[in-house]
Chains A and B, each alone.
Chain A
Amino acid sequence: MDWNETPAELARAWAEQPLIMPGQQGELYGIFTPPAPEAPPAGMCVILFSRNRWWHDRLTVKGARWLASRGFPCLRFDYHGLGESEGICQAIHGDRPFTEDAVAAIRYMRKEFGQQRFVLSGFCFDGRTALSATEEEGDAIEAVVCTSPSVTGYPGEPLTYIVSLQKVRTFLTSSTSFKKIMLQRALRHCVNLMRLAGKSRPGEGLLERQLSINFKRDFEALVRSKARGFFLQGRDDSQYHEFELVERFVLPKLTPEQRARITVEVWPGNIHSHDRPEVVRKVIERTLSWIDGCRQAPFTLAQPAPVPSFQKMMGGRAGTESDEAGVPEARVPADPALLRAK
């Protein structure tokens, strides 16, 4: 992907329309990017979630214009209490997505712009918000991209990662002030664990109980909806450590047909990192390519082979484990029949 602004993207920027949507807590401000008239219509409206709507290197702006130049109408908007939107945002909690804003955006695009099919995409909390809309709007959703979401109901590492070799090494070599921070974190984790142990969920052991009940509900809605799901993770991110609970307790319960609609891609290293914008760009490029693939050929991107644009992004070479956040590891069923199924 060309990270410079291309003429096609500049043309989409000229065509953009500011809009104001009704939300539960007041008006939500957004930008609609109409599809390029010369591009074949994608037939799907992409809603790119972020806090605020151009947060983090303006990747949603770039993404909206790139997708629109390829035929996708796009929307980006500010959640309530953020950016320009009305309302008050008291706190952002990974397990409490802004579902009402997501649903309001879908309904507005349907009512005012005649959009019928939607692809929802977001990173971290925004991915959870995208996923959470499937409960109410699942029938209208074609695909959900949920990049590096937190899936536990509490902050902090899951049980299996509270103590790791890497953490011990970091602790031993770090400064006294950092040691204090680590000990404080460990104390908070212990409190979380005690709370967890005190709760009971029928049929679930302590490990499974770490999974957020909200996430499970939203994931089940995604499965029911027949929409495709794309989960992208970095192997060394705490979010992936949490997601391993999904791989262990949730994915195995899916039927082959359901499982075929869920793509999980795990990259080496970290992808959930503010201080490595080059990695975040690669992640966004991958998710945009995946969305683009939803239109071009359903399920082709669920296959293990990297798409051409992704190879190009990697400098045309095959990645190795030594590439941090370099190579996607697609986790999909091996049966090609399942890949074709829908």
Chain B
Amino acid sequence: MPELITERSAVRRAGVGGELPLFFSSAGRPLYGVFHPANTAIGKKQVVVICHTIGAEHMLTQRIEVLGARVAANAGFAAFRYNARAHGDSAGEPRDLTFEDIVEDACAAADMARELSGASRIIWVGVRLGCLIAAEAMCRRDDAGALALWEPLHRGGDYFRAAVRSIIFAQIAKGKRPSINVDDMLKQLERDGELSILTGYVYRPLYRSARETDLARSLQNWNGNTLIVQIQRRRTLSDDNEHLRSTLKQRVADAKVSAVLISQELPWNIPSGDRPQWTSDDLLSATKEWLDGLE
């Protein structure tokens, strides 16, 4: 069970809507988290836990996680956001990080969320690679109540390919011809143990442990209420999202699977310092509407 590091947190006062920023422990390290108590008089029995994505994508999506947690709190659900080890304000060394470690932190966050909220079940919200993390964490527990997937990555390998591709985009944007292709860069990562990408590095342990992860496989036993939000510039669900939606619906006759399309193309792996962090009223509205339908 993770420990709340209360005496060290020294929170002077709660923030917006009683938000409580704190540190808690996971695998002997302090992780940063924020607890958002439910803002309505009738608190729901489930607590929302948001699993972030990683790397440059995390920078882009952090703000929407914050706003999403506030939306959940206003909808009557307590919510908990956290930074996995070696991410955000948490401690940890990225060189040694594996996908297993990140899932372990998600489970620690879920325990913390339940302890702080008193809820018995978890509504998992995943963002991009965070969807794979949430799905894996759900497999290891028996307290999942519902699942929201925000522009899910269906395979871990997709994250690394996209991250590496962004290097090529950056070179093209400077008028340079890329000297190396994505496959060669991934081989380089395998060989050298690290690869510089935009705004940071990817390391071999995480690449090896995450590249084979598969969302459909992790969710093969899942039959709860599910929201799939696709954020792409297309009018229909992508093949992966459509396959997941139909599989979930076929598995259980009365499975509640909602899909929402948000027509927007985001440079997930390309940070921009001259733009504010990304937010989306459509995504927040869709999530609120979905939460309103939950108990």
Contacts and interface: CB of A to CB of B under 8 A. Distances in A.
Given A20-B21, A29-B15, A90-B276, A57 B88 contact: no
B172 A178 contact: yes
Given A17-B9, A27-B16, A170-B175, A81 B276 contact: yes
Given A14-B5, A56-B199, A82-B276, A173 B175 contact: yes
Contacts of B95: 4
Interface residues of A, number: 51
A339 to B, nearest CB: 34
B255 to A, nearest CB: 35
A275 B198 contact: yes
Contact of B170 (A9, A18, A274): A274
A55 B32 contact: no
A85 B133 CA distance: 26
B9 A10 contact: no
Nearest to B12: A19
A275 B66 CA distance: 27
A52 B170 contact: no
Given A17-B8, A20-B13, A5 B66 contact: no
Nearest to A112: B12
A107 to B, nearest CB: 14
B34 interface: yes
Contacts of A54: 88-89
A214 B162 CA distance: 39
Nearest to B28: A10
B59 A14 contact: no
A319 interface: no
Interface in B163-193: 167, 170-175
A100 to B, nearest CB: 16
Given A10-B29, A178-B175, A275-B167, A19 B11 contact: yes
Contacts of B22: 18
A26 B59 contact: no
Interface of B: 5, 8-16, 21-23, 29-30, 32, 34, 59, 62-63, 66, 87-93, 95, 167, 170-175, 196-201, 271, 273-277
Interface string A237-273: 0000000000000000000000000000000000000
Contacts of A162: none
Contacts, number: 134
Nearest to A52: B62
Interface of A: 4-5, 9-10, 13-20, 26-27, 29, 31, 51-58, 61, 81-84, 86, 89-94, 112, 124-125, 170-171, 173-175, 178, 182, 274-278
Nearest to A177: B172
A247 to B, nearest CB: 24
Contacts of A86: 15-16
Nearest to B23: A16
The 10 closest A-B pairs by CB, nearest first: A18-B21, A13-B91, A57-B200, A89-B276, A170-B175, A174-B175, A17-B10, A275-B170, A20-B15, A5-B93
Contacts of A278: 196
A92 B276 contact: yes
B199 A27 contact: no
B15 A27 contact: yes
Given A29-B21, A82-B276, A20 B30 contact: no
Given A16-B89, A20-B21, A92-B276, 19 more contacts: A10-B91, A13-B29, A13-B90, A16-B30, A18-B89, A19-B12, A20-B13, A27-B16, A29-B21, A51-B273, A56-B271, A91-B275, A92-B273, A92-B275, A93-B274, A275-B171, A276-B196, A277-B199, A277-B200
B66 A83 contact: yes
Contact of A274 (B12, B90, B198): B198
B199 to A, nearest CB: 5
Nearest to A278: B196
Most buried by B among A13, A58, A175, A182: A58
9 contacts: A14-B5, A14-B91, A27-B15, A29-B21, A51-B273, A86-B15, A92-B276, A174-B175, A175-B172
Contacts of A20: 11-15, 21
B89 A57 contact: no
A84 B17 CA distance: 13
